[in-house]
A and B are shown apart, each in its own frame.
Chain A
Amino acid sequence: MYRYDVIDREFVADRAAEFRHQVNRRLAGEITEDQFKPIRLLNGLYLQLHAYMLRIAIPYGTLNGKKLRKLAWIASTYDKGYGHFTTRTNLQLHWIKLKDAPEILEHLAEVEMHSMQTSGNTIRNVTADPYAGATADELDDPRVWSEAIRQWSTLHPEFSFLPRKFKIAVTAAAKDRAATKIYDIGLAMRRGRGGELGFEVMVGGGLGRTPYLGPTIREFLPTRHLLSYLQAILRVYNRYGRRDNIWKARIKILVASLGAEEFARQVEAEWEKTRKEVVDLPDTELARIRGWFTPGFAKLNPRSEAFEAAKAGDPRFARWARHNVHPHKQPGYAIVDVSLKTPGETPGDMTSAQMELVADLAERYSLDEVRVHYTQNLILPHVRQDDLPAVYEALKGAGLATPNIDLITDIIACPGLDYCALANARAIPIAQQIATRFADEEKAELVGELKIKISGCINACGHHHVGHIGILGVDKKGEEFYQVTLGGSGEEDAALGQILGPALPADKVAPAVEQMVEVYMRERKDGERFLDTFRRTGVAPFKEAVYADAH
């Protein structure tokens, strides 16, 4: 877990005090809303449909028990007793009062957290593989590099007023659990010819109105040059990114208009000019950071009799273990996915009581670590296999043991028109309707891996473009309609979805999903995933099934 030093602590506390002063000025009428709005956005405070929304940064989705318990306390003290985890691994509180916001920032500062750079045209909260430090398929712990980026990018004076917001994701594993191809910069760790570590650098991915997968601009960047190279990318963007048109201001538009090759050439030229003057990553600092992420694993027997016996004796536990428990690099340990996707509930929502329970479980059973995944689930990364039955029982008691990771009910949905001032349509009720239809765990298991992602507007916070089934809410003369896309993926086989056909009214979306699943079950061969079947058959059979009535 990262740690603040004295300067960090004083700075974050001072920042909360400064914000209190500005809030008081606003409430007293000394500054206008137009003057105040950029200040509140600098602190992650938005005004949404029903109240203020505070977006709290969770750097690379990493929490410990103390931080999660504090978030629970803030949610119950200043909100309605729940919070919403997002696809950027942040926590959003949807019912905040302006006058309480400075006090909340003070409480966050006490546990080394804040809301800076969760809004605005800055480098946003960096995200990373949530299995970092726990999975055997990683080349290194991506949190070490994510933390270096966090320190470098937080309030970077040169990059605090970019043409648009800027998002970075990091992974060090072959399996892309950080969706690196859909971010402004995606960093995927690779090994060089001599065995040394470096990054494949992808730039200019992004969803929204104009979706792109990030092209690779450098196959291999030695790790020691990470920050100077990031600086070169940001400098080219800061210099040439469009500021005249909000819809064309993201770096993806610059990369697409120049072409990846020309963009890469400009970055390399900038890098050559500046790299020697930039303080890159000192080994001593890297070693210090690495020390924060080295938990003390016990030497355990790779096979746990308690785990095996529980699987044999309880089919529900066995199902949960099949879907929510994953192999760990350390013998005798396991990674546990905590599903926030109980059918009928709101994807990503968690009550204060549930947060407190997971905080307890992290401290007791997971070396005091919790991760947030962009899929809006939580992860206990270091659970002893012997403890899995106890962890399961505790999660089950809190409604957190739904065995559905990567299944059809594990749906991403943004807050949509239920909360968001920008949304055109609701996303949550559509997710609830679909999940309820597939609530039968056996049925969902039979369907297998199927990722549904729902956004309430074109900004694509719900990642609909990269859903196996993507659903986008659109406004047709004030009525909610939903455009369906098929065949997207946000992982190592990343792809943008293909439009199925005309947008559907709200009550036709869940039946359409059911019809498409029927097509898949009929067409699939040899254990194919939904995505594989779609890639083989194309859109035609799905389209035919959904729009049959229209013929």
Chain B
Amino acid sequence: MRALTGNRLADGETVFWRKGQWVERFAEAELFADDQAAETAEAKAKSELTVVVDPYLIDVIESEGLWAPLSFRERIRALGPSNHPQHGKQALGGEDIAALQQAHGAARSTGRVALIKRK
């Protein structure tokens, strides 16, 4: 299963793709079981030059009955910095945030490798 993420151009906020729109919470992200659908969405996102920067696909796993990004880095992006728990989306709390915080098992996301190559 995969999700599509990027940073919003205007403010840099971490955002997730949901049926042609961008949402701020990972819990609202559209999940793709089908690779072709995911890649089609990614291509469309990449054409939205004034909305989002560097969109890429990430792997997700099941955690506490909910979904969470597989890689540790992506979980930090979805939550906020661990040294300032009052900052980032983690400050909003909720079941989905708790699931992200408790998620285990990680692998470097393929999206990140591509990002590093671009830097």
Residues on the A chain within 8 Å of B12, using CB: 47-48, 50-52, 96-98
Closest to A53 in B: B12
Complex Cα gap A422–B84 (Å): 19
Q: Which of A49, A418, A428 contacts B14 (CB 8 A)?
A: A49
Contact B11 A29 (CB under 8 A): no
Q: Does A393 contact B (CB under 8 A)?
A: no
Complex Cα gap A34–B109 (Å): 23
- With A97-B10, A478-B108 known as contacts, the answer to whether A422 contacts B119 (CB < 8 A) is yes
Complex Cα gap A51–B87 (Å): 12
Interface hits, A400-447 → B, CB 8 Å: 417-419, 421-422, 426, 428-429, 432
Complex Cα gap A29–B77 (Å): 26
Q: Interface centre among B7, B70, B72, B81, by most A CB within 10 Å?
A: B81
Chain A 455-480, CB within 8 Å of chain B: the 1/0 string? 00000000000000000000101111
Q: Which of A28, A51, A97, A419 contacts B50 (CB 8 A)?
A: A28
Complex Cα gap A50–B88 (Å): 8
Q: Interface centre among A32, A50, A95, A421, by most B CB within 10 Å?
A: A50
- With A27-B9, A97-B11, A421-B119 known as contacts, the answer to whether A47 contacts B82 (CB < 8 A) is no
Complex Cα gap A153–B84 (Å): 37
Q: Which of B7, B10, B72 contacts A479 (CB 8 A)?
A: B72
Complex Cα gap A426–B81 (Å): 9
Closest to B88 in A: A50
Chain A 18-31, CB within 8 Å of chain B: the 1/0 string? 00000000111100
Complex Cα gap A421–B56 (Å): 14
Q: Interface centre among A32, A52, A96, A99, by most B CB within 10 Å?
A: A52
Q: Does A175 contact B (CB under 8 A)?
A: no
Shortest C-beta distance, B88 to chain A (Å), equals 6
Contact B53 A47 (CB under 8 A): yes
Shortest C-beta distance, B113 to chain A (Å), equals 11
Q: Which of A51, A432, A479 contacts B13 (CB 8 A)?
A: A51
Q: Does A33 contact B (CB under 8 A)?
A: yes
Closest to A480 in B: B72
Residues on the B chain within 8 Å of A33, using CB: 9, 49, 53-54
Residues on the B chain within 8 Å of A29, using CB: 49-50
Chain B 79-119, CB within 8 Å of chain A: the 1/0 string? 01111100110000000000000000011110000011001
Residues on the B chain within 8 Å of A27, using CB: 9-10, 50
Q: Which of B10, B49, B106, B116 contacts A478 (CB 8 A)?
A: B106
Contact A428 B83 (CB under 8 A): yes
Shortest C-beta distance, A324 to chain B (Å), equals 24
Shortest C-beta distance, B42 to chain A (Å), equals 15
Residues on the A chain within 8 Å of B82, using CB: 418, 426, 428-429
Shortest C-beta distance, A99 to chain B (Å), equals 6
Contact B49 A50 (CB under 8 A): no
Contact B10 A98 (CB under 8 A): yes
Residues on the B chain within 8 Å of A432, using CB: 83
Interface size on A, residues (CB 8 A): 35
Shortest C-beta distance, B108 to chain A (Å), equals 5
Q: Does A80 contact B (CB under 8 A)?
A: yes
Residues on the A chain within 8 Å of B71, using CB: 478
Q: Does A86 contact B (CB under 8 A)?
A: no
Q: Does A90 contact B (CB under 8 A)?
A: no
Shortest C-beta distance, B3 to chain A (Å), equals 16
Closest to A95 in B: B87
Shortest C-beta distance, A342 to chain B (Å), equals 13
Complex Cα gap A479–B106 (Å): 6
Complex Cα gap A417–B116 (Å): 14
Contact A50 B108 (CB under 8 A): no
Q: Does B73 contact A (CB under 8 A)?
A: yes
Complex Cα gap A418–B76 (Å): 7
Interface hits, A367-396 → B, CB 8 Å: none
Q: Does A346 contact B (CB under 8 A)?
A: yes
Complex Cα gap A394–B109 (Å): 47
- With A49-B76, A418-B82 known as contacts, the answer to whether A475 contacts B10 (CB < 8 A) is no
Chain B 45-81, CB within 8 Å of chain A: the 1/0 string? 0000110011000000000000000111100110011
Complex Cα gap A32–B9 (Å): 11
Complex Cα gap A116–B49 (Å): 26
Shortest C-beta distance, B75 to chain A (Å), equals 10
Q: Which of A32, A96, A346 contacts B49 (CB 8 A)?
A: A32
Contact A417 B10 (CB under 8 A): no
Closest to B14 in A: A50
Closest to B49 in A: A29
Complex Cα gap A347–B117 (Å): 30
Complex Cα gap A486–B82 (Å): 27
Residues on the B chain within 8 Å of A422, using CB: 116, 119
Chain A 41-67, CB within 8 Å of chain B: the 1/0 string? 000000111111000000000000000
Complex Cα gap A50–B15 (Å): 9
Shortest C-beta distance, B105 to chain A (Å), equals 8
Residues on the B chain within 8 Å of A49, using CB: 14, 73, 76-77, 81
Since A98-B11, A432-B83 are in contact, a sample of 5 more A-B pairs with Cβ atoms closer than 8 Å, ordered by chain A residue number, is: A47-B53, A51-B13, A52-B11, A417-B73, A478-B109
A-B contact list, 23 entries, CB within 8 Å: A27-B10, A29-B49, A32-B49, A33-B53, A47-B54, A49-B14, A49-B81, A50-B12, A50-B13, A52-B11, A95-B87, A97-B12, A98-B9, A346-B83, A346-B84, A418-B81, A421-B119, A422-B116, A428-B83, A432-B83, A477-B106, A477-B108, A479-B106
Please give the residue numbers on chain B whose beta carbons come within 8 Å of chain A beta carbons, in ascending order: 7, 9-14, 49-50, 53-54, 70-73, 76-77, 80-84, 87-88, 106-109, 115-116, 119
Please give the residue numbers on chain A whose beta carbons come within 8 Å of chain B beta carbons, in ascending order: 26-29, 32-33, 47-52, 80, 94-99, 346, 349, 417-419, 421-422, 426, 428-429, 432, 475, 477-480
- Would you list the 3 A-B pairs with minimal beta carbon distance, nearest first? A478-B106, A418-B81, A51-B12
